[in-house]
Amino acid sequence: MEPSTKKILVADDEPPVVQIIRANLELEGYQVVTAYDGVQALEKAKAEQPDLLILDIMMPRMDGFDVLDALKEDARTENLPVIMLTALNEIDHMDRAARKGSYCYLTKPFEPMELLMIVRRLLTALEEEQLTV
**pLDDT score for 130:** 67
**pLDDT score for 59:** 95
Residue 89: helix, strand or coil by DSSP? Answer: coil
- CB 10 within 8 Å of CB 110: no
Residue 6: helix, strand or coil by DSSP? Answer: coil
Assign residue 66 the CATH number of its domain. 3.40.50.2300
Q: What is the pLDDT of residues 102-121, one digit of tens each?
A: 999 999 999 999 999 999 99
Residue 14: C-alpha distances to residues 60, 85, 87 (Å):
11, 12, 12
Q: What is the pLDDT of residues 49-93, one digit of tens each?
A: 999 999 999 999 999 999 999 999 999 999 999 999 999 889 999
Residue 30: helix, strand or coil by DSSP? Answer: coil
Q: What is the pLDDT of residues 14-39, one digit of tens each?
A: 999 999 999 999 999 999 999 999 99
The model's confidence at residue 133, banded by pLDDT at 50, 70 and 90, is very low
Cα(21)–Cα(15) distance, integer angstroms: 10
pTM more than 0.85 = yes
Structural domain that includes position 52: 3-132
Number of domains observed in the structure of the chain: 1
Does 57 or 4 have the greater pLDDT score? 57
